[in-house]
């Protein structure tokens, strides 16, 4: 009976203590699951694609991705299938300088971003648009449109063009080796007449070599040489997760086959393209043990925590009381009973139940 009472009391106390733990404590204490191993999907072996510097999923053709070569190539776009084979080449007669990125909007318009500027001395950058072809075949002279842009704070090197799915607004992410890059927004309706002025939205991570909006328009994925980053998109883009990526001259990222995964590629001949997950949102860091945030009038979390702590203290006191009541009095009564029985058998004066010595009259 005593063991059962103690067990019940202990379980009750532990339950009260567990109720008081802040939500997510177990998750914060454990390590995050490692990312799954990247899956090699294909290799681009066509010698015409010798410096793949961007990837974009086709909107019109299932299993087709568009890519472009880095600086030094003519104005052309390659359509590659899931085996790495070039299915078509689209050429357009534009005086490109340093093409670094490619994107496709929901209507199947291809955007070719001539935005590279290693020496940061360009007065203007350009984006060219061409439609996805009516058939999967080469087109040697595609009609194009050109958009000119200028940064508000001087020239920047950039390798990332983002197209917001719903509005088709263009965004650029500048590339820096260290420190902070920047997110820059084009006008909501960019003009082909004159030069469009860009607006800086926020600082961006360093080393960004490519990026893409996910189809939901709520997330952006950024690529660097060593990892893939997940960004919550909004008035101020916020980096929320990161996964390491295969080490290579990582230059490209695109929406993957399922629409919820990614393809990442590298620059150079024989570029290997991997299929990877979108980096999940990381759990928020737990508060410092020395910090005690002040609860606001509308914040019930601190009140709940205090309430649970109060129950722990009450449970501890109850546990101690049970020990005192259950353990000590029965032991004392048993000793008194044994002493009384001995006294009866030997003819001595029985002990005083209150513990005082009796005297014989």
Q: Give all strands of the β-sheet with 181-185 in edge-to-edge order.
A: 158-163, 170-174, 181-185, 199-204
Q: List the structure tokens of 266.
A: 């590298």
Query: In this structure, is residue 79 part of a structural domain?
Result: yes
Span 7-25, average pLDDT: 36
Containing structural domain, residue 332: 303-354
Residues 128 and 204 in one domain: yes
Same domain for 241 and 347: no
Q: Is residue 242 part of a domain?
A: yes
Mean pLDDT, residues 331-345: 51
Q: What is the pLDDT of residue 288?
A: 35
Q: Is residue 188 part of a domain?
A: yes
**Does residue 241 fall inside a structural domain?**
yes
Please, which pLDDT band fits residue 268 given cuts at 50, 70 and 90? confident
Which residue, 170, 152, 162, 282, is CA-closest to 223?
A: 162
Q: Residues 64, 206: one domain?
A: yes
Q: 186 with 232, same domain?
A: yes
Q: Mean pLDDT throughout 277-283?
A: 91
- Provide, rounded to the nearest whole percent, the portion of the chain with pLDDT above 90: 63
- Indicate whether 3 belongs to any domain: no
> What pLDDT was estimated at residue 267?
86
Q: What is the pLDDT of residue 36?
A: 87
Residue 220 shares a structural domain with residue 179: yes
282 domain residue, yes or no:
no
Same structural domain, 321 and 233: no
Q: Do 80 and 213 lie in a common domain? A: yes
pLDDT at 25 over 50: no
Both 248 and 166 in one domain: the answer is: yes
CATH code at 193?
Answer: 2.120.10.30
Please tell me whether residues 224 and 79 are part of one structural domain: yes
Q: Indicate if 348 and 206 belong to the same structural domain.
A: no
Q: What average pLDDT does this structure show over 85-108?
A: 97
Q: Domain check: are 54 and 171 in the same one? A: yes
Number of domains forming the structure of the chain? 2
In a domain, 216, yes or no: yes
Q: For the full predicted model, state whether its pTM sits above 0.75.
A: no
Kindly report the CA angle at 319 between 315 and 322, in degrees rounded to 5?
135
Last residue within a domain, chosen from 259, 277, 295: 277
How far apart, in whole angstroms, are the C-alpha atoms of residue 233 and residue 213?
A: 9
Task: Report the pLDDT value the prediction gives residue 35, as an integer from 0 to 100.
Answer: 82
Same-domain check for residues 136 and 258: yes
Residue 75: CB atoms within 10 A of its CB come to: 19
């Amino acid at each position: 009976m005593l063991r059962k009472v103690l067990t019940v009391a202990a379980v009750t106390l532990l339950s009260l203590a567990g109720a008081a733990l802040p939500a997510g404590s177990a998750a914060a204490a454990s390590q995050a699951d490692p990312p799954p191993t990247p899956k090699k999907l294909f290799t681009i072996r066509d010698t015409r694609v010798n410096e793949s510097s961007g990837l974009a999923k086709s909107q019109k053709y299932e299993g087709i991705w568009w890519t472009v070569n880095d600086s030094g190539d003519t104005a052309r776009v390659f359509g590659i299938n899931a085996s790495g084979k070039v299915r078509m080449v689209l050429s357009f007669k534009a005086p490109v300088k340093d093409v670094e990125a490619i994107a496709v909007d929901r209507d199947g318009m291809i955007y070719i971003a001539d935005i590279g500027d290693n020496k940061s001395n360009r007065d203007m950058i350009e984006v060219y648009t061409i439609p996805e072809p009516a058939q999967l075949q080469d087109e040697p002279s595609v009609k194009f449109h050109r958009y000119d842009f200028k940064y508000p704070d001087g020239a920047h090197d950039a390798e990332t063009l983002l197209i917001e799915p719903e509005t088709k607004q263009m965004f650029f992410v500048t590339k820096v080796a260290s420190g902070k890059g920047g997110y820059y927004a084009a006008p909501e309706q960019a003009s082909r007449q004159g030069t469009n002025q860009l607006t800086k939205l926020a600082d961006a991570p360093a080393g960004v070599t490519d990026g893409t909006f996910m189809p939901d328009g709520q997330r952006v994925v950024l690529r660097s040489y060593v990892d893939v980053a997940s960004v919550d998109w909004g008035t101020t883009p916020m980096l929320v997760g990161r996964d390491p990526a295969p080490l290579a001259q990582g230059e490209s990222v695109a929406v993957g086959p399922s629409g919820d995964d990614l393809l990442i590629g590298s620059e150079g001949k024989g570029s290997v393209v991997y299929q990877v997950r979108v980096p999940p949102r990381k759990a928020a860091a737990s508060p410092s043990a020395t910090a005690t945030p002040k609860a606001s009038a509308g914040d019930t979390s601190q009140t709940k925590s205090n309430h649970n702590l109060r129950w722990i203290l009450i449970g501890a006191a109850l546990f101690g009381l049970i020990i005192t009541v259950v353990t000590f009095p029965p032991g004392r009564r048993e000793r008194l009973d044994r002493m009384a029985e001995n006294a009866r058998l030997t003819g001595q004066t029985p002990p005083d139940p209150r513990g005082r010595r009796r005297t014989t009259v």
